[in-house]
Amino acid sequence: MLNHTKVWSFNPCGYAFLGEHEKFTFRGASDFTDPNFISRIVKDVPIVIDWAIGNQSCSEVKNSTAYSCKEHSLCIDSESGRGGYRCICEEGYDGNPYLTPGCQDIDECTKNPCDGICKNTPGGFQCSCPKGYFGDGQKGRGCQKERDLPVLKLSLGLGLGLLSLLVSFSWIYFGIKRRKILKLREKFFKQNGGMLLKQQTSSNLNKVFTIEELKKATNNFAKDRILGVGGNGIVYKGILPDQRIVAIKKSKQLEQNQIEEFINEVVILTQINHRNVVKLLGCCLETEVPLLVYEYISHGTLHHHIHNNGGNMPWLSFQNRLRIAVESANAFNYLHYAASIPILHRDIKSANILLDDYYTARIADFGASRLRPFDQADMSSLIPGTLGYLDPEGIQMGLSDKSDVYSFGVVLAELLAGREAIDLTLPNKEKSLAAYFKASVKENRLFQILHHRVLKEGSLEQLNAIGELVVRCLNTKGEERPTMKEVATELEGFTKYNSRTWAHHDQENNQLEMGEMISEQEDLYSVLMYTSTNYDTSSSDQQSTEISAKREENPLFDD
């Protein structure tokens, strides 16, 4: 390479070599005069030759006779882009992968990779500790003499022993506690008449829930699941595993002498199938106080709709009030006369009439109910019911089916007047709705106490007739009250009355002479009919209409 005789004078190059391009840096003319240039290139610049066997990939050549990789070798596809492959030895092996017998096992133990005993294996090695030592023998972790073990073994033994004792005692404690809970549930189940209930029911009539099912359904009876608190207990909202929403009632303490009667009631109530009565789905007897599971009714109580927002909820028209009265009366009539044993509700009030998704009336809360023939009055020392709805005669003589009629009469008065059954903020004569309603009818002042929507939307004949029915229901003598069957029949008849409102009736009679409207015995009073932009079809500037009327002997009101 030092013969320059055939090289142009402008090209004094005296070296030529193969090498990796990125590893060589040309320093200029000094490289030609540097005596160490050759040794530096040999040392720093690796020779790279990119080659491959054939033009087939490993997957293509492996099963052919042309495959050149021998035993304990791996085939690698060439990355040149022109095909072909090369062979390398597997890990733990060394040699020429192209010549027989192929790659040979490397004895790694010659490099002393272990702190303990090294054992060579094909393609690898294993480390272990000699006798009297423990550990894995790996380099850096080493082996320790067994004389250091007793303290460690003792510590581990004590720790495991204490852990075993703790687990054992915990298992025994919770086992005993669980047995006590199961025994207590079994005791309550028997105490609450569970065996009697099993004897009297078939599997299709109702379900006896476990307390665990109801705890899970109510999130362990969480406060945010409470739907309401009443005189007979607390009602929770629950979600069963099948995603049914239910109302779970936790009743008050059940006396021992009432168990058989309670079970009989559960059996009867689970058989009630009326569209206007809330269905009893089952019960739980594993607690001190029995739990009753009812279907869930979504739109709250009638009491809420009557008394919230001044009774001006859009749907609460006079016709819907009358419909709810008819549906409720039919349900109570069913309980009194269609059930296998007559059922007295004994706590009828607007708060116990629920409304479903379609605002259909559903009778609820049978906590105070009793099953008995109607010729046997309930002479319990503790009279159930709610102040304002209680039958005065029933308090003295014992509750009967006519006591339910009285209470329902108060509900009808609520629907008509939009007033609370008892309102202590009003003057004495108006505190009791029942007494005030009867007095208003007697004094021909019925239309003064009616809710403005009822007054505007109901016809004169309807309002007069319903007012008379309410007074009959509120009669202080039970025997002179109508039966629930008669109440339901009359209310259904009222729905067929002429739908002309009192306002229309008055407009027609305004054409009569004033002299024909006033008799010698004058008793004039004004009734203010409030209008509402939601319901009034008159002009927007008309805010009220004052109507004069007089009282005659027979009609409650005559315009």
Residues at the annotated binding site for ATP? 250
Give CA angle at 488 (486, 494), nearest 5°: 105
Give the integer Cα–Cα distance in Å for 4 and 11.
Answer: 9
CA distance 282 to 270: 7
Contacts of 335 (CB under 8 A, 6+ apart): 272, 277, 342, 343, 344, 345, 363
Contact 441, 468 (CB under 8 A): yes
> Would you say 310 and 451 are in contact if contact means Cβ atoms under 8 Å apart?
no
Residue whose pair of structure tokens reads 């997957």 in the numeric block: 59
> Which structure tokens are listed for 174?
């919770």
d(CA 140, CA 224): 62
Nearest residue to 318 via CA among 451, 505, 449: 451
Distance CA 60, CA 55 (A): 10
Please give the structure tokens belonging to residue 412.
């009808």
DSSP character string of 141-160 = T--EEGGGHHHHHHHHHHHH
Residue 239's SS3 state is strand
Quote the CA–CA distance of 75 and 69 in Å, as a whole number. 7
Question: How far apart, in whole angstroms, are the C-alpha atoms of residue 37 and residue 31?
Answer: 6
* The two structure tokens encoding residue 202: 């078939």
- Of the candidates 115, 347, 391, 404, the residue annotated as catalytic is 347
Does 34 participate in catalysis according to the annotation?
no
Alpha carbon distances (Å) from 203 to 186, 197, 262: 20, 11, 19
DSSP 8-state secondary structure symbol assigned to residue 97: T
Measured distance CA(466)–CA(375) in Å, rounded: 28
Strands (E), 48-171: 73-77, 85-89, 93-94, 104-105, 117-121, 124-128, 133-134, 144-145
Helices (H), 249-347: 259-271, 302-307, 318-333
The two three-digit tokens of residue 18, written as one number:
């193969």
Annotated binding site: 250
Single-letter amino acid, residue 39: S
Residue in 351, 311, 332 with CA at minimum distance from that of residue 491: 332
List, by residue number, the catalytic residues. 347
